[in-house]
Amino acid sequence: MKEPLYKVIYKDIKKGIVESKYPLNSQLPTDKEFSELFGVSTITIKKAMEILKNEGFISRKPRKGSHVIRNSDSIDKHAINNKSSKPFIGLVFTNFNDNFGTKMLNNLILYGQDRVNSIIKFSDGNPNLEEKLITDLIESGVEGLILFPASSKYFSSKLLELSSNNFPLVLVDRFMGKFPTCNVAIDNKAASKMLINHLIDNGHKKIGIITAITEITSNEDRVEGAIRTMLEYGLSVEQERLLTDLKSMVPGKRTKPAEDIERIKEFLNQNEDITAIFAGEYAVAILVEQAIEELGKQVYKDLSIVCFDHPYIPKVNRHNLLFTHVAQDEKAIGQLAFNLLLRKMEEPDLIEKIIVPHKLIKGMTVKELS
């Protein structure tokens, strides 16, 4: 029995997809263009395209056409059947914890669970693994991605490809220079200025800066914002008062916390005139607290500390200190990222960078100097 014409056409188009005649994320010819190419009716083309859609090779949306979303016969076991009325999105995070990330991720999932199907992957800060996870998700048929990048200095070939094809992509907590993507993050330089201003308002003029070593612009922006503010006030910023390469809290690094604590102790011994520490994140503030204690001193009494983010309930540090810190609105970040992704899926040419408000939380770690 002769095979139906729509199945012949379906196989021909599928072959073109698998062999990259029609590349991943590219827009296919319209039904009318295909009908002219094959010399058949648009009804026949629609039947062929429906099979490709149901098998997860393409997405079809009114007025937006058909796009290739998978180019392999293999499909991830988590792939969502394209017959579902809900879009299928992927979330790729480095990791998350109570200090930062948990509330954002929870809100992303809870806010979107009735509107999308989603799958979460974790890269542990490994750029190579991140690229593989993104590739796997694309081949699984995701229609959009929310990404917490491992690096904001080095753009993977996959991110460049997705961006050039206007694939729906939103970066969280990162602004990647002039990279043409949608972003949701706080203004880290302004947040650092807020923290340094608070220290200066309380009489601190000898301030040290301690952060983790990372390949993300948010960390660099925090240091730059702190240094700029100190210089605006005429305060000296010697290289000796900067310790910006701690590793134990960075995903993928094998340095033990005790090693970083020893480095902080050495730093503090070499800078005995420092009255306050600007810590780039809560995990760094915890190490600074322990180093101060091991030197026989006390936080607040002998040395003030400010940092970014904080667990909802103070618990990791041994003395239940509420650090003075900048709080990011994680719930807002999650919700804004989700809504921005949905808009990007509807408006492929959309490029928008959203700045999320932050606020200063006064804790128990800044002493007012006379």
**How do the pLDDT tens digits run along the chain, 370 residues long?**
567 888 899 999 999 998 889 988 889 999 999 999 999 988 889 888 888 887 788 888 767 788 888 877 654 444 444 444 578 888 888 766 555 656 677 767 776 777 888 888 888 777 888 888 888 888 777 888 988 877 666 667 777 778 777 888 999 887 666 678 899 988 999 999 999 999 999 999 999 999 998 766 678 889 999 999 999 999 989 999 999 999 887 766 778 999 999 999 999 999 999 999 999 999 999 999 999 999 999 999 999 999 998 886 545 555 677 999 999 888 888 889 889 998 988 888 889 999 999 999 999 999 999 7
**Please, are residues 150 and 250 in contact by the beta-carbon 8 Å criterion?**
no
Give Cβ neighbours of residue 253 (< 8 Å, ≥ 6 apart).
247
Give kind and range of the element (H or E) at residue 267. helix 257-270
Give Cβ neighbours of residue 306 (< 8 Å, ≥ 6 apart).
195, 198, 199, 276, 277, 278, 279, 285, 323, 324, 325, 365, 366
Q: What are the tokens at 220?
A: 């660099």
Q: What are the tokens at 267?
A: 């730093």
- State the Cα–Cα distance between residues 63 and 319, nearest whole angstrom: 60
pTM of the full structure: 0.73
Can you give the pLDDT at residue 83? 43
Q: What are the tokens at 156?
A: 């993977």
**Please, are residues 334 and 91 in contact by the beta-carbon 8 Å criterion?**
no
**Please, are residues 150 and 126 in contact by the beta-carbon 8 Å criterion?**
yes
- State the Cα–Cα distance between residues 141 and 54, nearest whole angstrom: 11
Spell out the domains of the chain, with CATH numbers in brackets.
5-68 (1.10.10.10), 88-186+330-357 (3.40.50.2300), 188-328 (3.40.50.2300)
Q: At what angle do helices 188-201 and 217-232 cross, to 10 degrees?
A: 40
Can you give the pLDDT at residue 155? 65
Cβ atoms within 10 A of the Cβ of 212, count? 22
- State the Cα–Cα distance between residues 156 and 150, nearest whole angstrom: 10
Q: Cα separations (Å) of 59 from 36, 54, 77, 143?
A: 21, 9, 19, 8
Can you give the pLDDT at residue 99? 56
Please tell me whether residue 66 adopts helix, strand or coil conformation: strand
Rg of the chain on CA atoms, in Å? 25
Can you give the pLDDT at residue 79? 44
Please tell me whether residue 38 adopts helix, strand or coil conformation: helix
**Please, are residues 212 and 219 in contact by the beta-carbon 8 Å criterion?**
yes
Q: What are the tokens at 183?
A: 């972003």
Please tell me whether residue 133 adopts helix, strand or coil conformation: helix
Can you give the pLDDT at residue 335? 87
Strands (E), the chain: 58-61, 65-68, 88-93, 117-122, 144-147, 169-172, 182-185, 207-212, 242-246, 276-279, 304-308, 324-328, 353-355, 358-361
Binning the chain into helix, strand and coil, the percentages to the nearest 5 are 40, 20, 40
